[in-house]
Amino acid sequence: MTYSTGMLKKRITIQNRTAAKMGKYGLESGGTEWENVKEVWAAVDNRKGLSGMREGSLDVYVVRMFRCQYDDVRDIINVRSRIVYQNLTYQILGDTLAIDEQENTVQFIAQAIINNGQTLSSSELGAPGLQKDI
């Protein structure tokens, strides 16, 4: 899909797990902390949350589609990366990471999560949080 870079109006932060460190008894497992790797411009669209809330669904999850320039994230983003957008953290849904080198785009769908790794329901988030960027 061809798109204009003018559509990239939102700032997102890409996070990856920290590397394992040498501990007292050798290499520790590491990867338990998340670090901000890069901030990039992106297009952000709601996927499930808003329409489900309008329909009165009780089990709707906050899901968004993100699109950014591939050159900006080439060596950083992968299916284990997280995205921070509007003070919420999102986990990339692995089978949705689509890279188009010819168009210089990467597109993926991500679901909001909370600190212990569980998904965040839109009812837990509240309607105003979903509607502020529409």
Going by C-beta distance under 8 Å and a sequence separation of 6 or more, which residues neighbour residue 100?
70, 106, 107
Instruction: Report pLDDT for 27.
Output: 66
Query: Per-domain residue ranges for the chain?
Result: 5-126
Going by C-beta distance under 8 Å and a sequence separation of 6 or more, which residues neighbour residue 2?
103
What is the pTM assigned to this prediction? 0.71
DSSP string, 19-73: PP-EETTEE-----SEEEEEEEEEEEEE-SHHHHHHTT-SS-B-EEEEEEEHHHH
DSSP string, 73-122: HTTT--TT-EEEETTEEEEE-GGG-EEETTTTEEEEEEEEE-TTS-B-BH
**What is the CATH architecture assignment of 5-126?**
Beta Barrel (2.40)
Residue with tokens 């284990």: 80
pLDDT in tens, the chain (134 residues): 455 666 899 999 999 988 767 777 766 665 668 899 999 999 998 876 555 555 555 555 688 999 999 999 988 998 999 999 998 999 998 888 898 989 999 999 998 886 555 555 545 554 444 443 43
